[in-house]
Structure 1
Amino acid sequence: MCEALFLYGVMLLVIDMRIEGVIRERMLVSYHRYSAAQASVDSNIDDVCKLLRSTGYSSIPGSRRPPNYPESYFLRVPINRQFVSMLIGRLRSDDIYNQISAYPFPEHRSTALATQASMLYVILYFAPEILHQQQAKMREIVDKHFPDNWVTSIYMGIPVNLMDAWEPYKAARTALNNTLDLSNVRELAARYATKVPKLNDLVKRYLQEGTLTEEYVLDNIPKLMNCLRECNVTIRWLMLHTAEGAWDNNKRCRQLKEQVLLDSKFNPQVLFTLLLNTGQFELQLKEMFRHMLDNKKDKWEAYKKEGSERMAELSEVYSGSKPLTRVEKNENLQAWFAEMAKQITSLNYDDSTSAGRKIVQLIQALEEVQEFHQLESNLQVRQFLAETRRFLHQMLRTINIKEEVLIQIQIVADVHYAWELIDSYTRYMQEGIKREPSLVIKLRATFLKLASALDLPLLRINQAGSGDLVSVSQYYSGELVSYVRKVLQIIPETMFGLLAQIIRLQTHSIKEVPTRLEKEKLREFAQLDQRYEVAKLTHSISVFTEGILMMKTTLVGIIKIDPKQLLEDGIRKELVRQVARALHEGLIFNPKAKVNELPPKLDALGARMDGFRISFEYIQDYVSIYGLKIWQEEVSRIINYNVEQECNSFLRTKVLDFQSVYQSTAIPIPRFPPVMGDSSVNFIGRMAREILRMTDPRTTCYIEKRNTWYDFKTKQEVMTIKLFSKVQRSIGTYGLTGLDRLLSFMIVKELQNFATILNRGVLRDKAWLEFLGTTMKSLNPVKGLVNNAGKVYGQAVTKAAKLWPPFLDVVLKVGQMQLLRRQIANELNFSCQFDSMFLFDSLQNLNNSLMSDIEAHYQDPTLPYPKDENPLLYELTSYLECAGINNPFTKIYTTTKRVPYFPLFAFLLVISQMPKMQYTKAVASMTAKNPKEPLDGPPFIAGTVTLLRQAHSENIDQFIALIGQYVRSMVEVTATSQKVDLPPDVTNVLLFLEDYMSHTELPRKKVEAHIPKYLLDDFHSRL
């Protein structure tokens, strides 16, 4: 019952300390909603709401404690006063956990009762009148539980300073004054100051190899246990009374702490050394006792057999049957030794008490027989008697090996008070590891010592047979493993610091040795000093690896720690941190820069990533890891995670970190704040938007034959296909595919914008619908040529002129991104053929085979077809895109509903823009006619192709029919006026159709059905 009330109080305190105001309000709202839905449990809901309602307490440093806190908080749900009084009475008078037996010395009594003391501290708030008024009871509590300490620890290492906590309570404050007396404080600090170096020296002597033998341990159990008690009591007192906490804002607390630090000559490094040595000492003792307990019975029987056999042999010696022994026959001694053999054989292992007494008597009898019968003259007999006594002594020692010693070690070694304080010593752990990597062995013992803190929350849960045992154990074990990872992360960090020097040497200093080398240049390429430095750094890295691998596989709570896996995870974590930072810092652009920043930044980033990769491959054998595999896995994870987060801005349902398949708790990918003035989330978005800015169709001209963008005004190169080679070198194939995926999301967004503008601006306007309907009737490709074509088309284009600006912007953006996607596909295709020829051929053959099956199925539906539930098509698509075996212009990005007059709308958009362009023979491309109204042909065509691709194929057929009708009608007008050359607009439309067929792989026969073949063949000769 004491524990139940204690845990209830702790829960309230922790809730109030840890839950932020916003969370509290949300919980209250949820409870109120639940209350409204479940009217039958209103009373319980009201109680919960009372507990969750704000108390005014704030954990922000410098904030004051609310009046009457926490007793007023505890009184929100009243507890029976008599029950509380009885619990307090029992706790202040009795040793309810029988801990004093584990701490027999009087000066250790407060440590023995520390668990009860923490319970009393919490439960007293349920009876605040004792704290305020009942000085006698408080004096009794302080004298028994807090005579030599004023900082205690409640549940799972939450420290509390009584001077600060009991300041508002008169009786408690007065009772504590004796403990806080300056002379008492100084005496305590000085006492523990002298103990630390002595205990360190003593424990070091015990830890010297060959000291802790089984015989020594069994003969000195009390002495060793006393040492353990002193060590743990000293560590506990110094850690608690020098700890930092919220009470440091209290002037008196701060002064008292400074006094303790001064008088104890506190050195955290020395105390940490004592903690390490104590943990190692405890671990060795426990392992020895467990081993002795496991082999206790076997050793007992072996010693008993040896002793009995020696007595039997001595009996035979005095029988006279062995003449070679030269011992005279003595029937009395023969009978006596035979009886002794029987007595030793009759010893019963299960009755240890009786056996122990009997062994003592047998030892005394053997000593007496040697003295009275003057057997010392015979060396052999004397040796047999000495050996038998030794075996009997060993039996006596062995029978005294009891599990109580292990239990006492477990009690004394409890370190739950340091669950939170231990983090303040992390720096010393890491500095020690950097100086001496083998320190990890001692740290293992310390981590196992910390694992003992898990016993406190799990003990009662286990006894109650609760199903929460596994989840609670998993939580605390996970927290401890996270802390272990945090401490040991210094090894990968240090390794990467050394690796950075290797990278610098290999990248900037060491020359690559050519395949053939002239003898005269051998010394030049040898570079012995630089290579010696690399070898020295490599050796340092391997020493750190050896240090962590010395740490054996360890069970921390219910989680097993494998040192090799721990090292690999640490290396992965540090690799991810450094690569992610390099990508973040390397791809930040100045929007006001007049020169193109992207290529030089990609070059610098590529050189940095190459240095990482080469050096990582170089050290993989020295740290026993698969370097290239780790590199590829982690870099791909970083890129894919950043692409996923960047694409979140285009999704209604965001992919959060805990939902991401790329994010990890053990090896997290860092997130950096977005750059000021940039709408991108991370580096992949910044790079994509920088490329889009560079290739803006309003300021650049794309020449398809050269796969290059030129500045429209200066005619200078802006971006070539080489840029994507730089992208691949810097962020790899994963980066290129990620960039391609992001551009796909951007295209989807633009197409959705197009549909939204079309729906709101055209389809909901009756006037525009009537206009489109009338125009469609007047054109109607089925009727053939359009009468008075120039006037009809001219009026339609003029009337719709104000519609086009927003639609044109979308079409150009989509076309620009499609051209970029095609360039990315070309780069991926080339690199895949060059680096992975067999993979490329396999993918291409599999793709062709599947396409043949699909086409055969449509020709004959009885043939098999890859079904939707078959993952082959989906998985193959991702491989094909990574290998560049795809055509972006044939992709369907969005599903669209049937849009009335959509072919006519697209047709009018195309012919309205044709007069703004001209065919430039020098570049074999359509360019803008008017510099003041730039309109680049390739992006416009690519955007129109993509737009039409999203509609049903019937719309495409109708669009081609309208284009064919336009060409024939305008040619007829030209023929009637007896002009030889085709009108420029008709030429532009034919050029548009030619590019359209090229992008979509549209069969020429479909176009020839609407436009005479001779026109398609001969119009180039008229350009």
Structure 2
Amino acid sequence: MGDFLAPHNACGQNLLRIVSRGNAILAELMRLKDYVPPVFRFDSKQFDQKYGSVIIDFAYFKACATYEQKIENDSALQALDEKLRENFSNILTRFYLAFESIHKYITDLNAYIDELEDGLYIQQSLESIMFNEEGKQLMCEAVYLYGIMLLLVDCHFEGYVRERLLVSYYRYNAQRSSSTRVDDVCMLLRSTGYSKSSLKRPANYPEEYFKRVPVNTSLVELVIGRLRSDELYNQSRAFPYPEHRSIALANQASMLVIILSFNPSLLHSQTAIMREIVVKFFPDCWVSSIYMGVVINLFDWWQPYKAARTALNSTLENSNIKKTAQNYGQKMDTQILEVEKIQFSVNLDENAVGPIVKLVRNCNVTLHWILLHTASPNMLVEESKRSKSIRQLVIHESKYSVENCLRLLLNTAQVEQNVKQFYKQLLQDKESKWMKKKERCVERISDLAELFSGNKFLDGTEKNLCLQKWFKEISEHVKTLQQDEGRKIVQLLQALEEVQEFHQPENNLNISQYLADTRVILRSMLLTGSISEDIMITLNIVTDCCYAWIIMESFVSVMQGCIKENPSMVIKLKALFLKMASALETPLLRINQARSADLSSVSQHYSRELEGFARRVLQIIPETVFGLLAEIVHLETNILKEMPTKISKDKLKDYEQFDDRLQMAKLTYAVSVFTKGELSLRSVSLGVLRVDSHRLFEDGIRQELVKKVTHALHNCLVFDLKSKTDLVKKLQNLATVMDGYRRSFQYIQDYININSLKIWHEEITYIINNAVEEECKGLTWIPGKNWRSLQDEKFIHIPVTDSNSYTFLGRFARELIRITDPRSTVYIEHTLAWYDIKTHNEVLNHNVFSTILQGMGTPGLCGLDELISFFTVVEIQNINNYLEKGVREKVWTDMIKDSNIIMQNNSENSKGNPGKLYMTALTGTTKIWMPMLDWVLKIGQFQILRNKIAYDLNTACKFEAKHMESALRTLNQAVLAEIYKRNNGYQTEGETELLRQLSIRLDWAGISDPQNKIYVKSKNVPDVEIIMFLFTVTQVHKLYYSKSIAGLLSKKVQDPVDAIAFAIGMQTVLRQFHTSALNRYVALLCEYIMLFVNVESSKTASDWEAEGITTLHFLELFAKYSNVPKSIILSHIPLVILDQYDVKLLK
């Protein structure tokens, strides 16, 4: 057949590509298992109730029209469905393609078998492939991988979840998908009834599952036959001892376990065959790792099958279990001592390699058996009582302890790495060493020939021309030696021994020494020449630990405990990480052979998994460092007195605090010891990734800092909704805690070799930005945020304690909004404070923003500003939607029509009638204005808060970075001048990016004007200025001018309106429309004021005068905050009338 995997062999290459794709599919499934959006799992009743009508299982296919009609008839369900489509369309496609690839895999495999049987590949058939070494390996792997795919899909993506994912994909991406392929995928992956939450195994599982798209029967029979009779991977060369046979065949055994489920009749009724399988593969083991650490217990796996269960009974006899467990327990105790003894030896030499390889083999065999048989299976739902009792019996009889097992594991890994490095060096130096030894040997033999020639004098040496000639000939032979001529070297050794025996030169001690040295050199040459890659291959086989890929997670806490006791133990962990990295060779072997493009993504996935494991183990060091840091924080904050810049000699004793400073020194030393422990790792290769210990440590420090600071923010910013006075106290407490963390973190930076100030600012910014993002997503779409947070390693999950907020920042922002609510407080601009409407007591003042700056820094204040900006957008969108909907209603159109007529009549007549206009705006429209008032007041309140935040940010920036503030302000002015100069609105991509970056920096420096920003792109609402004018008329009527505060106040406490918030809110809303709307609104207000100049009404003139004064003051407020030039007002209201109002106001 030739080389089956040769590039020109289409038959072998096609099969190799199929197997390669199978390994890539498994990696994709393992990658996606952590990214199932929680909304599709229905983990809570809330999700079930809210999304049950739009996220549907396969029941959808029975009544598609009914479900779709239900969604179409409900606008809320339509909006929810659209949000699902928008947020999860891409990830649903990713899941579907992974599921579809399973169906395509088995379809292609069956098609390949059909092509073989049809004779498409000349001189090759299914039977001939099974006689080829690589061919039978690939055939067995192809069937085995299909079974593993189906099992892992069912294990990690439960049936109801798969169905919801597939149905959602079908609904959202039907136009891009082939309905036939979707139907086939749905048929293959419909729910099997298997569930991790269920304690019962489904009937006929997994054989019925495997029959959905069956594998060719002849192929299954041939594969099982080869697995039973042949040794596929020839691993007995690495495990030559009889007691190691089950370990040597472990990979083949796991394949056989899976493939037998494709032919359940063998498991049910073929007792003789099953007994043969058990005797060969499972004489002393009953737990198998089927793929990358996925463990099954054969007692439970084969429980439904009579023949398999009966055959396994002999292995599971208590006497056999006890004997085997005791044997491996004793071996573990002995091997721990032997491995530690080797570790203490200073140097390795070539002669020691063989015994060490043997010891490494024995240790790995012991670890393989012990780890598997003491681990809990992770494939089936629940262990049976018998399985648990067997596991407990193994633990008891072997005297197993996690600590001893870890001890052997770490020591073995260390020895493995040492011997591998040593042997690699031997292979590299083999040629040069052998040549040097050869030259020395030739030199020695030539010296002997010279001695016997008589030309060179040596005591007791007689001239012997025969020996001279003989040694010259031997020297020539040595010169022509090659490394692979070991037999000639043995013959030369025999010849040297014979010449010493028959010619008796041993009587001369010098000659004897020469001969002895020469023989030593020849033996060394023989040993060096015998160095080959076979030993490295053997080492790689016996040290493979892919069976423990998942089991190692159970050792994390023990490893961390060991590191906590002895930080230098990290060096041994490096060897363990390298040992685990060798497990990547198994899934990558066929992908690499096929030169597949999937090599990079698959290797990246497993390397990332291993890196994540290493980070979890080593995270104990940053955790411990921060535990020590907490004590340092306590000392810095509460115990140690802050040293003044200058201090008199007499008062020096007041600051000595010797005991406390000694405790600080001890804590600092402990921190440096732990840091040194992790940094000793240096650089370690984890698969295709190389991880630097300093970066690993810094990342751990960052993660722990995020955790601690997030918890501090979360715990400090919890408020009592009944009180309005504890906000400032909470912020002051937060500022104290944060200052303690910052000072202590800065204090230890030199002892842990990091830039603490840089890390502090970056991570505080990360925490705040993450909180802002969470709040914004939470307001718009809850499920999306939960899924995306899985991608961030530093993400700290804090349980939600407030029904309205998702993070501390949202909770704080809402508390600030609650305290300054325009419905219960009034903002007085002269004092920059909010006062309670009823009690007239001050509730909050502008100093609160300085306190926020102390507690959360510039990032905190900027994050608060961004969140309030988002709240503003939400409220503006609410009012815009309300206006767009309202203008189409008859009540609104009639109101606008009547008010236009009244205003027109008033402009034509000299006598004004503001009362009629007011009644038009009020009659039948009270309910219309109520929601609008809430939205406008909220928008105004948010803008006031944003103005105060910008002021504090700018003040801080001027003090701390005045040159940067000046540079930003100048650049901003220059950019604005350039934009005004162009007057065409066109911007290049680079200019757009410049504006975006500049805007971010301006916001952080407080160089911004929130009131004049465009927040949303509003649609053109007809007569919006008239609507807002009429709305203003109804609200201004609730206000009066107060001389005591020189401003507007509410007439009634029960119906309050904060004039400043209302004015700012109105101008913000109008600014979202075309500028003509704002100008027309101002004109209408001016016309309304003019109506009060000459009034004809039943109302008294003094009342209308007060109304006119109130409206005029509101107009002045509006003009002030919207930057409307006074000239525009004067164009509608003569100056003499304005002066008249001012005179009346002074009376």
Does the Cα contact within 8 Å between 1:28 and 1:53 map onto a contact in 2? no
Residue of structure 2 aligned with 1:5, choices 135, 143, 163 = 143
Change (3 A) 1:966 1:287: same
Greater CA deviation, 186-195 or 912-921? 912-921
Say which SS state the counterpart of residue 213 (structure 1) adopts: coil
Give the corresponding residue for 1:931: 1053
Instruction: Give the distance between the partners of 1:57 and 1:974, measured in 2 at CA.
Output: 84
Equivalent residue runs for 1:460-609 within 5 Å: 460-591=590-721, 593-609=722-738
Structural mapping, 1:364-763, within 5 Å? 364-370=494-500, 375=505, 381-591=511-721, 593-651=722-780, 656=785, 665=791, 667-676=793-802, 678-761=803-886, 763=887
Structure 2: how far apart are the matches of 1:243 and 1:798?
77
| One-letter amino acid of the counterpart of residue 636, structure 1 | T
Distance 1:253 1:726, change over 3 A: same
Equivalent runs, 1:281-292 vs 2, <5 Å: 281-292=415-426
Task: Tell me whether 325-334 or 477-486 shows the greater mean CA deviation.
Answer: 325-334
Distance 2:782 2:375 in 1: 46
Cα distance in 1 for partners of 2:516, 2:221 equals 64
CA pair 64-672 structure 1, distance change in 2 beyond 3 A: same
Give yes or no for the alignment of 1:299 onto 2:414: no
In structure 2, do the counterparts of structure 1 residues 342 and 432 end up closer, same or farther at CA, with 3 Å as the change threshold?
same
Q: Distance in 2 between matches of 1:80 and 1:707?
A: 82
Distance in 1, Cα, partners of 2:752 & 2:705: 14
Cα separation, partners in 2 of 1:722 and 1:492, compared to 1, 3 Å: same
What is aligned with 2:1124?
1002
Cα distance in 2 for residues equivalent to 1:941 and 1:1008: 20
So what's the TM-score if we normalise by structure 2?
Answer: 0.82
Taking the aligned partners of 2:1043 and 2:168, their CA distance within structure 1 comes to 71
Give TM-score scaled by structure 1 length: 0.92
- 1:16 aligned to 133, 154, 163, which one? 154
Deviations 1:721-772 (A, max 9, x none): 11111212222212212211221222222222222333334x2234543442
In structure 1, the residue matched to 2:897 is: 773
Equivalent residue runs for 1:785-864 within 5 Å = 786-799=910-923, 802=926, 803-858=928-983
The change in CA–CA distance for 1:78 and 1:962 in structure 2 (over 3 A counts) is closer
Which residue does 2:361 correspond to in 1?
Answer: 229
Does residue 103 of structure 1 match 2:225? no
Give the alignment of 1:980-1019 within 5 angstroms.
Answer: 983-1016=1105-1138, 1019=1141
> Is the CA contact 1:773–1:901 (under 8 Å) kept in the aligned structure 2?
no
User: Does the 8 A contact of 1:31 with 1:49 survive in 2?
Assistant: no
Indicate how the Cα distance of structure 1 residues 785 and 583 shifts in structure 2: closer, same or farther if over 3 A, else same.
farther
Structure 2: distance between partners of 1:937 and 1:174: 88
Give the CA deviation at 1:865: 8.1
User: Unmatched 5+ residue regions in structure 2?
Assistant: 1-138
- 1:620–1:1020 distance in 2 versus 1, CA, 3 Å: farther
User: Could you tell me whether the CA contact under 8 Å between 1:317 and 1:325 is conserved in 2?
Assistant: no
Task: Map Cα deviations across residues 605-643 of structure 1 (whole Å, 9 max, x no partner).
Answer: 222222222111222221122211111111111111111
Distance of aligned partners of 1:779 and 1:129 in 2 relative to their CA distance in 1, 3 Å threshold: closer
CA contact (8 A) 1:552 1:562 kept: yes
> In structure 1, what is the equivalent of residue 11 of structure 2?
none
What residue number does 1:76 align with?
Answer: 212
How has the CA–CA distance of structure 1 residues 318 and 730 changed in structure 2, closer, same or farther, with 3 Å as cutoff? same
| 8 Å CA contact 1:928, 1:934 repeated in 2 | yes
* Separation in 2, partners of 1:217, 1:461: 36
SS at match of 2:1073: coil
Which of 58, 64, 70 is the equivalent residue of 2:200? Answer: 64
SS at match of 1:850: helix
1:242 aligned partner, one-letter code? T
Q: Secondary structure at the match of 1:971?
A: coil
Q: 1:295 aligns to what SS in structure 2?
A: helix
RMSD (Å), alpha carbons: 3.1
CA spacing shift, 1:622–1:791, aligned 2, 3 Å? closer
- Cα shift at 1:175: 1.6
| Deviation of 1:938 (Å) | 1.3
CA distance in 2, matches of 1:232, 1:912: 86
Query: What is the identity, as a one-letter code, of the residue corresponding to 1:78?
Result: P
* Structure 2 SS opposite 1:554: strand
Q: CA deviation at 1:797?
A: 4.8
**Could you tell which deviates more after superposition, 688-697 or 921-930?**
921-930
Tell me the CA shift for residue 381 of structure 1.
Answer: 4.9
Provide the rounded CA distance (Å) in 2 between the counterparts of 1:586 and 1:515. Answer: 32
Q: Is the 8 A contact 1:701 1:711 kept in 2?
A: yes
**Are the counterparts in 1 of residues 158 and 194 from structure 2 also a CA contact under 8 Å?**
no
2:912/2:1092 contact within 8 Å kept: no
Give ranges in structure 1 of 5+ residues lacking alignment.
none
What is the number of residues matched between the two proteins?
1004
Name 2:401's counterpart in structure 1.
267
Aligned equivalents of 1:649 and 1:162: distance in 2? 47
| Equivalent-residue separation in structure 1 for 2:863 and 2:179 (angstroms) | 53
Per the TM alignment, residue 654 of structure 1 is displaced from its structure 2 partner at its CA by 8.6
Letter in 1 for 2:1041: Y
Match of 1:150 in 2: 286
Name the counterpart of 1:239: 371
Query: 2:902–2:917: 8 Å Cα contact kept in structure 1?
Result: no
Q: Distance in 2 between matches of 1:167 and 1:654?
A: 41
Distance of 2:532 and 2:901 partners within structure 1: 104
Cα distance in 2 for partners of 1:1001, 1:610 equals: 41
Measured at CA, do residues 141 and 450 of structure 1 come closer, stay the same or move farther in structure 2, by a change above 3 Å? same
The CA distance in 1 between the partners of 2:178 and 2:924, in whole Å, is 67
Amino acid at match of 1:422: M
| Mean Cα deviation higher: 582-591 or 506-515 | 582-591
Using CA pairs below 8 Å that are at least 6 residues apart, which structure has the higher relative contact order?
2
**CA 1:466/1:914 → structure 2, altered by over 3 Å: closer, same or farther?**
closer
Task: State the secondary structure of the residue aligned to 1:709.
Answer: strand
- 2:742 partner letter: R
**Contact 2:717-2:812 at 8 Å conserved across structures:** yes
Paired letter, 1:736: L
Inter-partner Cα distance in structure 2 for 1:798 and 1:256: 84
Cα offset for 1:516?
0.8
Aligned residues: percent identity?
44
8 Å CA contact retained: 1:303, 1:391? yes
Q: Which amino acid aligns with 2:264?
A: P
- Quick one: structure 1 residues 581 and 784, their matched pair in 2 at CA, closer, same or farther if it must change by over 3 Å? farther
Matches within 5 A, 1:319-338: 319-321=453-455, 330-338=464-472
- Asked if 2 retains the 8 angstrom alpha-carbon contact of 1:974 and 1:982, the reply is no
1:445-493 CA-to-partner distances (Å, cap 9, x unmatched) read 1122122222222222222333322222222222121111111111111
Q: Deviations over 1:521-573 (max 9, x none)?
A: 21221222212212211111111111111113222221222211111111111
The CA deviation at 1:699 is 1.2
| Cα distance change of structure 1 residues 784 and 602 upon mapping to structure 2, 3 Å threshold | farther
More moved, 285-294 vs 303-312: 303-312
Q: Distance in 2 between matches of 1:457 and 1:503?
A: 48
Q: What residue in structure 2 maps to residue 188 of structure 1?
A: 324
- Over 3 Å counting, the alpha-carbon distance change for 1:637 and 1:324 in structure 2 is same
List per-residue Cα deviations over 1:686-732 (Å, max 9, x = no partner).
Answer: 11111111011121121101110011122221111111112122222
